Amino acid sequence: MAPPLLLLTDIRVSLGSVPLLDGAGIGVGAGERICLVGRNGSGKSTLLKIASGEIQFDGGTRFLQPGTTMRYLPQEPDLSHFANTMEYVEDGLGPNDDHYRARYLLEQLGLTGLEKPKNLSGGEARRAALARTLAPNPDLLLLDEPTNHLDLPAIEWLESELKSLSAGIVLISHDRRLLEKLSRSIVWLDRGQTRRLDRSFAHFEAWRDEVLEQEERDFHKLGRQIAREEDWLRYGVTARRKRNVKRVAGLAALRQAKREHNKQGEAVKMGAADAATSGKLVVVTDKINKSYDGRPIVKDLTLRVLRGDRLGIVGPNGAGKSTLLKLFLGQEQPDSGEIKLGTNLNVITLDQQRAALDPAVTLASTLTGGKTDMVQVGDQSRHVIGYMKDFLFKPEQARTPVGTLSGGERGRLLLAAALAKPSNLLILDEPTNDLDLETLDLLQEMLGEYPGTILLVSHDRDFLDRVATSTLVAEGDGKWVEYAGGYSDMLLQRGEALAVEPVKQKTTARTAALAPTAALVAGKLTFKLQHELKTLTAEIEKLHAAVKKNEATLAEPGLYNKDIKKFKAASNALTEAQERLAVAEERWLELEVLREAS
């Protein structure tokens, strides 16, 4: 087996007296696709920064194969020292790198290269950082939340781009769909240590649950062992002799292990405080129009949002999602048409910029207002420490300034503050940014039980599928169309993905082959299509054989180090064969459906 390009072993990092990483490790080989998962605050970003060489560590070893090129995408890129985005991207290139690729990536990501850093939105800064990271075509990519602030077309472009690379990838992301499509291995960071499973992310939750259940069984045995040791300690006449000091110390270690396990068992407890029930009609629009500087944002939109609806709103950045929310809430007026708001509305808004959080104020004061130690949750009064624990904050964090919290912790704090207030209408603007997967699961459960109405702006496809009962999509030129169900349901009804600017979509063999033909629209299988259907079976068999052949080539031990040209050729051939196979199979299915219907 070829040696890894990057290897971290027994990494230890402490925050004061508290260990953050305690024996963590990770190894990345050529072409490996690893997702790094764990709770917010578990040290994922710290481990990735150590892997990139950005920060030092207290103990352990870091090894990078000589000659290996590596690029790291941080959560918060800093462009402040550069005149424009092109200068920022080109600064990351090596002497032998292709400057044309930098321009190509900026163009694909909807940027010109002339944008000034001070004028960039969060999404534009993230796109520039992606271009800088991908432009050198490195051997290793370390990506920390690459989809944050990206819209759906950009996320789907990034997914396709990463699939085409032969680089080893370590990826931190809350986007389940991205992880499922890209990952081949999982590294789980939990309580300072790492475990690895060489399967895709789709298997993570079942594996994690098995590990935790085994721990439960082990700690149940530990509880019985503690009882035996305590019995001996109370009644053993030799307990105070020197030769038994080790056994007494061992009992203390067992108790400490039990306490640590009990801490791990804590989970986020979410529940929104209910307000009085709103009217049956929450928002009703009748042919509303809104434009800015002659550009249509909303055109002839007629919509009814009823009590209990969960409306997902999707579209590219700049499509007008925020404007639409302001219109729905009466914060802006349409140029024409009519909007009616329901009665007895109590609205809570979670905005993606987290402007409601003051970085200088402590965590406890943010929740209590700074006047008492109690938090008013609906009609109940709770102590701030107990309420903090519901959202996985430790008691010692109560006096921590908000500005020192991680992005995920700030997201949890915003949720805790918002959900304490009574509401019957939740406005969620990108609520999933920076949240860990467990918190996302519990947020989804809470929203499922929420009795009020939800307006959700999100680029998280899995989250939309789990939460939304209908999806409002920007179709371009101010047109918005509502589809039943979540994101995947919307795609099935539209028959295509969101192919909208600013990310430029490439015309591929796949998109061309799947474009509806006149014969399909007419509902008849012509002689030409009958012949195509007959030949597709043989083509599919050949493509299956090509996929297996190239997979076998790539599985040869040490191929990357022995013959890099052969590795790249096989990797490119595999990608091409897989794409052609997907096209052929979908085309065969379309023609079979048409044949049976005709």
Do 534 and 450 reside in the same domain of the chain? Answer: no
pLDDT category at 525 given cuts 50, 70, 90 is: low
Mean pLDDT of 300-329: 89
pLDDT higher than 80, residue 242: no
Asked if residue 414 and residue 374 are part of one domain, the reply reads yes
Residue where a domain stops, chosen among 494, 522, 539: 494
pLDDT band of 271, cuts 50, 70, 90: low
φ, ψ of residue 20 to 5 degrees: the values are: -95, -50
One domain for residues 451 and 560: no
How much is the mean pLDDT over the chain?
Answer: 80
Please tell me the predicted confidence (pLDDT) of residue 518: 38
475 within some domain = yes
**pLDDT digits over 430-469, tens only?**
888 777 777 787 788 778 888 889 999 988 888 888 888 8
Question: If we measure between CA atoms, which residue out of 70, 93, 98 comes closest to residue 167?
Answer: 70
Q: Has residue 210 been placed in a domain? A: no
pLDDT tens digits along 527-563: 667 777 778 878 888 888 888 888 788 777 777 667 7
Instruction: Write down the pLDDT at residue 507.
Output: 37
The overall pTM is greater than 0.85: no
Same domain (yes/no): 476, 546: no
φ, ψ for residue 427 (rounded to 5)?
-105, 110
pLDDT for 586 beyond 80 = no
Task: Tell whether the model's pLDDT for residue 344 goes beyond 80.
Answer: yes
Taking 80 as the threshold, does the pLDDT of residue 273 lie above it? no
The percent of residues in the chain predicted with pLDDT above 70, rounded, is 81
Q: Which two tokens stand for residue 490?
A: 């919307």
Which carries the bigger pLDDT value, residue 254 or residue 343?
343
- 170 within some domain: yes
The alpha carbon dihedral of 265, 449, 463, 407 has a sign of: negative
Q: Is the pLDDT of residue 231 over 90?
A: no
Per-residue DSSP letters for 68-136?
--EEEE-SS---TTSSSHHHHHHTT--TTS-HHHHHHHHHHTT--S---GGG--HHHHHHHHHHHHHTT
**In the prediction, which pLDDT does 512 show?**
40
Q: What is the mean pLDDT of residues 558-570?
A: 75
pLDDT at 475 over 80: yes
Look at residues 462, 494, 526 and tell me which one is the last residue of a structural domain: 494
pLDDT exceeds cutoff 50 at 506: no
Same domain for 438 and 386:
yes
- 387 vs 517, residue with greater confidence: 387
Return d(Cα 398, Cα 389) in angstroms, integer: 10
Q: What CATH number is given to the structural domain containing 465?
A: 3.40.50.300
DSSP letter for 274, please: B
Residue 245 has pLDDT above 70, yes or no: no
Residues 48 and 115 in one domain: yes
Q: Does the pLDDT at position 3 exceed 80?
A: no
Beta strands in 332-445 (DSSP E): 336-341, 347-350, 374-377, 380-383, 425-429
Q: Residue 319: its pLDDT value, please?
A: 84
Q: Could you tell me if residue 458 is inside a domain?
A: yes
pLDDT on residue 517: 42
Distance CA 115, CA 424 (A): 41
Distance CA 580, CA 576 (A): 6
Question: Would you say residue 72 lies in a domain?
Answer: yes
Asked whether residue 252 falls in the same domain as residue 338, the answer is no
- Does pLDDT of 225 surpass 80? no
More confident residue, 589 or 170: 170
What order of strands is seen across the sheet that includes strand 470-476? Answer: 347-350, 425-429, 453-457, 310-314, 470-476, 479-484
pLDDT at site 511: 37
Angle subtended at Cα 561 by Cα 555 and Cα 562, rounded to the nearest 5 degrees:
85
DSSP secondary structure code for residue 166 in this structure: -
Strand order in the sheet with 70-73: 70-73, 140-144, 168-172, 33-37, 185-190, 193-197
369: Cβ contacts below 8 Å, ≥ 6 apart:
none
Q: Is the pLDDT of residue 395 over 60?
A: yes
- Give the HSE-up count for residue 587: Cα atoms under 13 Å, Cβ half-sphere: 25
Q: How confident is the model at residue 330 (pLDDT cuts 50, 70, 90)?
A: confident
Structural domain span for residue 243: 219-264
User: 3-state SS of 206-236?
Assistant: HHHHHHHHHHHHHHHHHHHHHHHHHHHHHHC
| Confidence check: pLDDT of 355 > 90 | no
**The token pair that represents 31 in the structure block:** 């072409």
* Beta carbons within 10 angstroms of residue 28's beta carbon: 27
Residues 6+ away with beta carbon under 8 Å from 374? 368, 381, 382, 383, 384
Kindly calculate the radius of gyration of the chain based on its CA atoms and give it in whole angstroms.
27
pLDDT digits (tens, 9 = 90+) for 147-161: 888 888 889 899 999
Q: Is the pLDDT of residue 513 over 60?
A: no
Domain count, the chain: 4
How far is residue 471 from each of residues 106, 310, 319, 479, 499, measured CA to CA in Å?
Answer: 30, 9, 15, 14, 16
Q: Check pLDDT > 50 for residue 504.
A: no
Statement to judge: residues 285 and 390 lie in one domain: yes
Kindly tell me if the per-residue pLDDT of 209 is higher than 70. yes
Peptide bond into 136 cis (omega under 30): no
Task: Say whether pLDDT at 299 is over 90.
Answer: yes
Q: Is residue 255 part of a domain?
A: yes
Q: Is residue 80 part of a domain?
A: yes
Torsion sign across C-alpha atoms 317, 322, 328, 331: negative
Q: How far apart are CA 239 and CA 253, in angstroms?
A: 17
Same domain, 291 and 347: yes
Instruction: Specify whether the CB–CB gap between 425 and 329 falls below 8 A.
Output: no
User: Does residue 66 fall inside a structural domain?
Assistant: yes
Domain boundary among 464, 494, 524: 494
- How high is the pLDDT of residue 523? 45
In this structure, are residues 113 and 84 in contact, taking their beta carbons and an 8 Å threshold? yes
CATH number at residue 555: 1.10.287
Q: Beta-carbon neighbour count of residue 517 at 10 Å?
A: 13
- Helix (H), strand (E) at residue 333: none
Confidence of residue 13 (pLDDT cuts 50, 70, 90): very high
**Do 489 and 519 fall within a single domain?**
no
Between 305 and 260, whose confidence is greater?
305
Predicted pLDDT at 545:
85
User: Is 348 a residue whose pLDDT tops 60?
Assistant: yes
Among 63-72, 272-281, 372-381, name the one with the lowest average pLDDT.
272-281
Q: Do 544 and 466 sit in the same domain of this protein?
A: no
Determine the pLDDT at residue 167: 92
- For residues 409 and 193, the model is more confident at 193
Residue 336 has what pLDDT? Answer: 93
Looking at the fold, whether 417 and 344 belong to one and the same domain comes out as yes
